[in-house]
Amino acid sequence: MPPSVPKVTRAQIVVRGLTNRCPNCGAHSLFKPGTLFQVNETCGACGFAINRGNDEAFFLGSMSLNYGVTLVGFLLPVALLAFFGVIGTTTAIVLAGIGAIVVPALLYRSSRSWFLMNYYFFLPHHLPANGGTGRAGQDENT
Ligand SMILES: [Zn+2]
């Protein structure tokens, strides 16, 4: 029997993840309308379980991505600029202090989407559109 072709491809999952869309249907439904940080429990368009209340991995995973991108994308360049004398030490400390708070807040929405993208990129068969239940723990690969 030939392997089944997924309805939602990995390329679609990546595009949806980078544009903060539901990985299952592509709707702009990850966050509650009018809020910045409140994740919807389910997708309003397809019912996909976005916020897995009792699955801390989805929160901690996205925060780890957020931390890593902030560290490598902002704090490390500031440290290198100070190290090579492009900016002063005081300026670097102020920039790092402000950036350590502001950059993760700016990346919060994207990091939640990136983690969903990361998860379903490697386990696309877990998406309901591809025949999965959309929940972690559905097989031994989780
Ligand atoms: Zn959806």
CA of 103 relative to ligand 1 center, distance in Å: 27
Residue 60 lies in a domain: yes
Query: What integer is the mean pLDDT of 5-10?
Result: 85
Residue 39, SS3?
A: strand
Kindly state whether residue 94 falls inside one of the protein's structural domains: yes
- Domain hosting residue 26, numbered range: 10-130
**45 CA distance to ligand 1 middle (Å):** 5
Q: What is the pLDDT of residues 52-61, one digit of tens each?
A: 766 777 888 8
pTM for this prediction: 0.80
Domain annotation covers residue 2 = no
Contacts 24+ apart (CB under 8 A), 33-41: 36/108, 36/109, 37/108, 37/109, 39/112
pLDDT of residue 103: 96
Please report whether residue 119 resides in a domain. Answer: yes
Q: Rounded to the nearest whole angstrom, what is the distance from the C-alpha of residue 84 to the centroid of ligand 1?
A: 47
**CA 9/CA 133 separation, integer angstroms:** 17
In this prediction, what percent of the chain has a pLDDT beyond 90? 62
pLDDT tens digits, 110-142: 999 999 999 999 999 989 998 887 565 555 544
